[in-house]
């Protein structure tokens, strides 16, 4: 085991009182209450964060509202906003190891995964810094009588509530803050109660880099209190949420009541189809890492495996071998490849699904057991003898658990893949490129991998069909979520 030592900066941050950010000040919540921060690798307390209340949300929204209505940020020249976002990215890069260590301690994920997440977050800020001075309207030729000059203006949507999940905390925060700030909006960020540390450290970095007062506010607390208060707040113009489908539905109802702009990146139960002509030397390891990466706590994870009946035994054996070869260990171990689940609650939820699957008649082919005595570690798990009527096939488990079925032909594979309430992602493995593109067109999902199990880039839209969400993040699509379009007609 090669455990890394915490940096002095990490130790210093952990030792400080964790407050909420209102305007330019770090303040205590209105009530004397807090939430323990638990390290999933050992179950021990790391720190304690503030448990905000309605009054704190009111203060945060008021600060964001004032910054938007009367502050310099929305009126700042786009080039100046771009330069400031680049300065923020530079400051994050200078603190990248501290941010990585905090992310690992908070989530339990291996330190090398956390480092990748931090650099991805920095990339998001740089990418959207590049968009800040490229937001343009259009001019139009029209059919109205008389002479008119007609054009459109793109304007910031206003105050945005950004509610992010616990599986990729710093990435998801940057994925929303980048376009939000580039567009000229102000924000109230609500990190997940399980993983708030990097969001709080980012708040310090943003202020130190010169972000104007009130442009970013951060309130920590539970989703049912702080998240709900934000979603229902009349001072919020835009809601961006990533998380469970059930919570997304609740937020959608709240947004409907206020007719707020809303984007929802929700759950997934993504199919992974391996055709008989697939290159198994690539398909097997990629499929294994797709589901076991981040301990299966990835919304786009290819968690439903459909394999042609002639090769299914070979594929399951191969994926099982890859899973067994991965080193399970605490996040601060440089050699660790799979970390724990995020919490005791999530561990109980995932193992509860395993019990349900066995009751439904499925069979654990690989794994399925707790690893070690401390923390919330679960072995990479493969379940076979499933069908699409089972809860373990229909519902999102969000752990290192792969459910498998065989199929006879392409038609059956497509039917099985599309038989889901979700439509976030999907994958197809075949060496017939014509077949691949035809199948990709038929899959009802927002992100399709062809001969790859996962794919994401800041320039490429991310989002799903059906109950996997509303809207698309990343790229220009992600920027548009934070903009309003105004049409101006001028008689000449």
**Catalytic amino acids?**
265, 299
Q: Residue 387 CB: number of other CB atoms within 10 A?
A: 12
Q: Residue 96 CB: number of other CB atoms within 10 A?
A: 15
| Residue whose C-alpha is closest to residue 401's, from 235, 486, 290, 241 | 290
* Token digits of residue 400: 């290192």
**Residue 313 phi, psi dihedral angles, 5° rounding:** -65, -40
* Cα distance between residue 31 and residue 38, in whole Å: 21
Task: Tell the burial category of 123 from Cβ atoms under 10 Å away from its Cβ (0-12, 13-18, 19+).
Answer: middle
CA 401 from centroid of its chain's CA atoms: 19
* Local structure of 44: helix, strand or coil: strand
* Cα distance between residue 398 and residue 19, in whole Å: 30
* Token digits of residue 90: 């530079």
* Cα distance between residue 271 and residue 414, in whole Å: 9
- Specify which residues 240 forms β-bridges with: 162, 263
CA diameter of the chain: 80
* Cα distance between residue 475 and residue 384, in whole Å: 38
């Amino acid at each position: 085991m090669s455990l890394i030592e915490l940096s002095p900066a990490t130790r210093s941050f952990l030792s400080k009182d964790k407050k909420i950010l209102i305007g330019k000040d770090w303040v205590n919540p209105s009530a004397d209450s807090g939430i323990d921060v638990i390290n999933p690798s050992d179950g021990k307390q790391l720190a304690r964060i503030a448990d905000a209340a309605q009054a704190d949300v009111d203060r945060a929204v008021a600060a964001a509202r004032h910054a938007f209505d009367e502050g310099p940020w929305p009126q700042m020249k786009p080039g100046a906003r771009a330069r400031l976002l680049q300065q923020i990215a530079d400051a994050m890069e200078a603190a990248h190891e501290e941010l990585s260590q905090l992310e690992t301690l908070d989530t339990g994920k291996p330190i090398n995964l956390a480092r990748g997440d931090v650099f991805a977050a920095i990339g998001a800020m740089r990418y959207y810094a590049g968009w800040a001075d490229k937001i343009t309207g259009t001019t139009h030729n029209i059919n109205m009588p008389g002479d008119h000059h007609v054009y459109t203006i793109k304007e910031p949507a206003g105050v945005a509530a950004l509610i992010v999940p616990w599986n990729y905390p710093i990435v998801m925060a940057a994925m929303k803050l980048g376009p939000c700030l580039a567009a000229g909006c102000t924000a109230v960020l609500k990190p997940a109660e399980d993983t708030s540390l990097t969001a709080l450290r980012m708040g310090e970095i943003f202020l130190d880099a010169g972000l104007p007062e009130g442009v970013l506010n951060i309130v920590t607390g539970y989703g049912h209190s702080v998240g709900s208060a934000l979603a229902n707040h009349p001072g919020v113009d835009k809601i961006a949420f990533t998380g469970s489908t059930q919570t997304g539905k609740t937020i959608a109802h709240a947004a409907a009541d206020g007719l707020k702009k809303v984007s929802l990146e929700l759950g997934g139960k993504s199919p992974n189809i391996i055709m008989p002509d697939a290159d198994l030397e690539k398909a097997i390891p990629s499929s294994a890492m797709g589901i076991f990466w981040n301990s299966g706590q990835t919304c786009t994870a290819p968690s439903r495996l459909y394999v042609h009946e002639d090769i299914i035994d070979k594929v399951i054996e191969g994926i099982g071998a890859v899973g067994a070869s991965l080193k399970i260990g605490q996040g601060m171990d440089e050699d660790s490849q799979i970390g724990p689940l995020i919490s005791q609650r999530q561990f109980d939820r995932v193992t509860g699904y395993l019990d349900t699957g066995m009751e439904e008649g499925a069979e654990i082919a690989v794994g399925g057991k707790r690893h070690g005595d401390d923390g919330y570690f679960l072995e990479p798990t493969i379940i076979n003898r499933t069908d699409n009527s089972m809860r373990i096939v229909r519902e999102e488990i969000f752990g290192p658990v792969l459910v498998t079925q065989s199929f006879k032909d392409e038609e059956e594979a497509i039917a099985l893949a599309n038989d889901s309430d979700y439509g976030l992602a999907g994958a197809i493995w075949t060496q017939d490129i014509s077949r691949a593109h035809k199948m990709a067109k038929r899959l009802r999902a927002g992100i399709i991998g062809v001969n790859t199990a996962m794919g994401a880039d800041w320039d490429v839209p991310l989002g799903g069909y059906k109950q996997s969400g509303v809207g698309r993040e990343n790229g220009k699509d992600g920027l548009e979520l934070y903009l309003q379009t105004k049409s101006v007609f001028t008689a000449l």
